[in-house]
Structure 1
Amino acid sequence: ELKVNFFSFERRSMNIYKEFISIINLYSIIKKENPDLIYTTTLKLSLYLLLINFFSQKKIINNFSGLGYLYVNNSIKIQLIRFFFELMLKLFSNKNFIYIFENKRDLDYFVNKNILKSSKCFYTNGVGVDIHKFKFLKRKFTEIFNVTMVSRIEKSKGVYEYLEVVRSLESSSKYKFHLIGKIPENADIKLIKLLTKCKNQKNFHYSSWTDNIVNIYNITNIAVLSSHMEGMSVFLMEALSCGLPIVATKIPSNEEIVQNDINGYLVPLYSPQEIIIKLNLITENFEKYSNMSINSRKICEKKFDEKIILEKFRKIIEQEC
């Protein structure tokens, strides 16, 4: 019999009282349901479970899809929280904890700093992608190239830089830009103003949501992700599977997906002009574009097929649990 218990918490809340209540509520659920195995995918819940498991002693799998806000923001307050989080990991992690990282550099960070033991850390290439759903589509060289980015509308996701590219190429008839993603409640005002300006351009389309992302990929020629910090991007893995050349920022997770001049290009952070240069390189001739498209699909089949990823998970769970 399947049963669902709902547990809610604020992702970025730092209110001590609220956090204490959240920990108590989660502990109550665990005590009542008495699970054999607990699986979590967020840093905050990992911290909760470190404290709770001091009393409950459950087997816990922590899947770090990315290090997120805690490792993007470098304010003094966040640095102190990060220090506390890493100290808690070091002090309270025990044989009951397993850590799965979706990119190698995140794993190396925690192991090399002696925060976690290498014997309890494992690495997978993200969550993988259904290569049969996201099919390879042979691309035609065209007069207008559709460029797509799928992301939450946040500055840390590099949306500002992407929109600067859109603004810079407002008069270009070579590109049509697409942006898909929800606007969070605490959206950056400057970013929203820029998005509003872009909406007035004929070569730009924004949508907060689509119920058929495959159709979007089918009309897309190039995928762009200018994020400042990212786990293994589902968007980029789906783009790979569909055979899209990619322009992405040079961050650890993207380096797992994009091979320079093979299936796309990596660009420095905060560099809209570099994105424009790489878009022009990809579209300068059909042979380059076609080769990058084919290479994207090959990389996906070799590294990111969800069957490969699920098999890795199965082996880890069998070995450790």
Structure 2
Amino acid sequence: MKIDLTETTSSKINQALVSARRAIGTPAIGMVLTLVIVTDEENAYDALKSAGDASREHPSRIIAVIKRISRSPRSRRDARLDAEVRVGSDAGTGETVVLRLHGELANHAQSVVLPLLLPDAPVVVWWPEDAPAEPAKDPLGALAQRRITDAYSAERPLDELAVRAATYNPGDTDLAWTRITPWRSMLAAALDQQPAAVSAATVEGESDNPSCELLAMWLAGRLGVPVERTLSGGPGLTAVRLETKNGVIVLDRADGSLATLSMEGQPDRAVALKRRETAELLAEELRRLDPDNTYESAVKFGVERLGGPSPAPTVKTVRAAEQPSADDGAKAPAAKKAPAKKAASK
């Protein structure tokens, strides 16, 4: 069921939600959180679809905030709120409110959103793109227990990742980090099977991919070893190699779907490691509402390294053409190495 409201108020939107629930015969609500999406018209459809799919695991009230700021001085003064209320099959397992803020009202979105939050329920704010420099100090971000950004959507993802690290506050997270959860789990399981000290590591993936950089920084910080960052044609993250005294552990995913785990003394194993959709990433982040300390330590590792020369562990970047060939052996050194770049991903 859909209800369109023009030149409305938060009070009228709440009334429309109650009326819509009664009309479809579900006056009781069982939603567990409020998800606020801050986006624009161009990306609103995809963001709402992902949030709707994620709500099947986490029934929630989804509030999409679309700011429509005109360049005309007169239009900027004409504040207006239009809304669309969706309940039932049109809103996944919860309910959806799409807010379009016109004129000066776009600068005060928190005053519109606050009366629409579910009482006594957690609040999560998600910026699919164009996230503020410091989400926790954003007026909408200040309402939330968790704040989700996506460095991959930025024009310069690696610079965006550095900003996320410099302005981190408890409750912040990024989908670039969520994308590597299966990789981290698989590598941890591999080390459990072969409990030998790791002496060095290599992370291979696309250039300017924040997920690759986060994985490299996580390995360097947790293992305390030098991590070499090599570049490939993708898609995304393609391989991780861990050097141990018992041999090399290799997790290789060349096609973005099926990976191969290789360890000394054991047969190669195929591992399902496909690239996940945004809805799956969002659903994973909504499972926890406490601060992610592991993400904090990983993302801050690179920023601390930029402050000046630092001892091992370090992260170096090598171009794909400079990597050793397969005939050179897994431990052969690269012919030539590029200097470490300024940002943690570069």
The normalised TM-score by structure 1 is 0.28
Q: State the structure with bigger RCO (CA 8 A, min sep 6), 1 or 2.
A: 1
Kindly indicate which of the two structures has a greater share of residues assigned to strand: 2
Considering only CA atoms, is the larger Rg found in Structure 1 or Structure 2?
Answer: 2
